[in-house]
A and B are shown apart, each in its own frame.
Chain A
């Protein structure tokens, strides 16, 4: 360097050349030093990550949080570690911290499907519906590391449930329609979607989905029962009978299917509004419906506590009054009185539903008939 002090040698290119040389040497040394440290850090990060997973597996999320934090300290850019830390925090009941980590992850990658999904759940839990909806959509349209279609569907289904919990059937139905357009040929999934259609009141769409599920697997019991229930809701008891009979045939021990079948059979036997039945049959069915409701109320009135009995008493009084006109000849002469008796039966069964315990299939049938009539009137 002393030579450099001499004017004839001090020239910028020479000095720059020397500085470049020193830079290269210094950089090479620093590189090998930092490489050695990087390897150690990476190894430590993995080591602590494994420990964290082990703790999580052993049901110790608080310990796992510490381990994942340490793993993240050694590999701060590893979003996988951060995601595990956030998940562990959530499991350890530290939702707010978890939320901060998820938000941090979201900021670095707003299209991350799992992060959006967790954020949506947390915001839904916190009651921030706007944010929850935004993140659910982020999860539906986001990137997923594995099985993206299934994960997006799961997010979509959860968004539908989120809408349903809020009573927002309109948005739920729209989301269901988007979802059902892209469903794979999976009877289980179609049945689940059909169930959700049932929850939003889109019974025809529900029925269509059950039918598609049954096309894929004609012996899939939940789809048969669901199709039966949806058929009832749309008023097609004959179709319901077909579906539910098949369900019972496939699984005779299925109590709910058997019960449903009994109700359907009762409805088919009792419904005075069924098209094509003679007038005399209509009268007979009306009398039976009136009789079923009245007897239920009578037996209930004798066994219920005083508070319930006081609300049943006026109905029993009314029943006694109506008994005078509840006969074939009168109803044949006064067909408009059929409606009076059916109205009474429906009201009585509704009251009994609140006070008199589980209904028999005949009682359920009376309620179903009354419901169907209300729907038709509307």
Chain B
């Protein structure tokens, strides 16, 4: 392996301060580029008021929605057993419940590879819920990778906070 970067080290200069246009709409030279907006999000069935009240009860384990993972780890730790069992029971008892499990990673490395690592965390949570009796069809596991960090910063505290999967119910996504 040849590393040419040392001997060719080049000092970087301060960035030019050039003001951005606040909105980059079309310019005369770019009339062949159209700007568009996002489409709306798709709907999910509604939960009953009673079911929503259970989810929002701060004294219920259902109010705990996050599962944290160790560095480079993708297995659900035993300490989450009670929390996930409560959710599995709730999901099984509420046929209209829809759960989106979003996996997250810290911000080091490739975006797409991190997306796959976050997927592995979401899949692990979903697998636990299904093993505990929740119908698979009511749970979708997806990944946000490193794209939506809950904690910002280049430090262990932020990385720890972001190695996480969150459970979102009807109307929360």
Please say whether chains A and B are actual partners in one complex: no
Interface residues of A (CB under 8 A from B): none
